[in-house]
Amino acid sequence: MGDFVNIFKIDDNSLNIANYYVRHNMLVAFPTETVYGLGCNALSDDAVKRVYAAKGRPIDNPLIVHLPMDADYSRYVYDNDLSLSLRKAFLPGPLTMVYKSKGVVSPLVSCGLDTLAIRVPSHKGAQRFLKYVDLPIAAPSANVSKHVSPVTAMHVYEDFGDKLPMILDGGRCDGGIESTVLDVTGDVPVILRKGLITAEMIKSVVGACQYAVDGDALNKRSPGTRYRHYCPKVPSTLFGADEVQKAVEYYGELKNSDKNPVILCTTEVAENLKGLNVIDLGNTGAVMANRLYAALRESENYDHLIGIRFVVEDEIALGVENRFLKAFG
C-alpha cells in the first residue's frame, strides 16, 4: 500500500511477522466482522499496558479477549451450560460473553474485575491471525480513545500513523458496530452493551434475556459504558426525528456564515434534502450499523456535523441509536 509501510495484507508472511510482534508484547491491529481491534498478548502485563497507553484509554475500562474457533474456554473462565448453548448458536460472531475469570490472563485486561469478557470473531482474517499466534489476544477497538471506531485499515492508520508496528488489512468491516456484550454469570443472560446479536435472538435460544439498566450498577459491571465515545473531530449539533425543517434552517445559517456543514440522516430524510451536503445512513438497522462509523469519519471532511435522529424500528437500530447518541455527546 505505497507509503503506508505498516499496513499489510493478511498472508503467511505478514502473519509470521504479526506473531513475532505479539510474542514480543507489541501491538497488532487486525480486522474483525464488527470493527478493527488493537490486539496484544493478553497474558502479558506489559503488552496490555501498551494498549491502554497507545489509545489513551481510561485504565478502568476492561478489554475483550479474542480466541480462535474451538479454543478451550475452560482454560480462562468458569464455563456454563447457558454460554455453551449461546456459543453453539452464535459463534463465531459478534457476541462477547462475560464469565467468572480464572485469573490466567493479565489482571489489567479486566481492570481488577473478577470477570473476563471473551469473543470469537467470525472474520476470516481475524480467525487466521488468532489461530496463527495461538495466544489469547486482548483487544479494544483500534481507535484513539473517544474517537470514532475504525472499520477500515486506513481508519486505524489515521488514528495511529506509524506508531503501530503493524496493521493487518482485511478490508472494510461488514457489521460496523461493536459486538453485543452479554453477562452470562447468572441464570438469565444480561445485555451490557447492545449490538448485532439482539435480545430477541438470544431469547430464541435460551428462553430469556434482560437489558442491564443504565446507571451506576451498569457502570460498575461494564465500566466502558460510562465513557464518551465515537466522537468525530468536528463540532456537531443534533436534531430530533421531527425537526428536519429546523435542521435545514440551521444548515442554511451555517452556510451563510461561510461554513461547510453536512447533514447525517436516514435515506428517507436524505431524499428530501437534494442539493445539500448529506451523508445517507441507510434505512434499516443492519445498513445503518454498517455505515455509521464510516459516515462519522466522513463528516470530518466538513466543518460542522448536523445529525437528525431516527425512529428505531428494529432491534439492531437500537444498538445503532446508542452509538449515534454518544457520538453527539
Residues that bind Mg ion (CB under 5 A): 141
Binding mask 16-55 for ligand AMP (x = CB under 6 A): ----------------------------------------
Rounded Cα distance between 1 and 11, Å, is 14
CB 54 within 8 A of CB 27: yes
Q: Binder to ligand AMP among 33, 159, 178, 321 (CB under 6 A)?
A: 178
Cβ nearer to ligand AMP, comparing 76 with 157: 76
- Is residue 218 close enough to count as binding ligand AMP by CB under 6 A? no
**Residue in the shown chain whose Cβ atom is closest to ligand AMP:** 224
Q: Binder to ligand AMP among 223, 243, 250, 267 (CB under 6 A)?
A: 223
Residue written as cell 508496528?
165
CB 102 within 8 A of CB 78: yes
CB of 61 to Mg ion, least distance (A): 8
DSSP 122-168: --HHHHHHHHHH-S-EEE-BSS-TTBPPPSSHHHHHHHHGGGSSEEE
**Residue 193 interacts with which of Mg ion, ligand AMP, none, CB < 5 to 8 Å by class:** ligand AMP
Kindly give, in sequence order, each residue whose CB lies less than 8 Å from that of residue 126, ignoring residues fewer than 6 positions away: 30, 31, 32, 33, 37, 66, 170
Strands 278-280 and 261-265, bridge-based pairing: parallel
CB of 68 to ligand AMP, least distance (A): 18
CB 327 within 8 A of CB 148: yes
CB of 99 to ligand AMP, least distance (A): 8
- Is residue 224 close enough to count as binding ligand AMP by CB under 6 A? yes
Q: Binder to ligand AMP among 83, 141, 180, 185 (CB under 6 A)?
A: 141
Binding site for ligand AMP (CB under 6 A): 61-64, 98, 110, 113, 115-117, 140-141, 178, 181, 192-193, 221-225
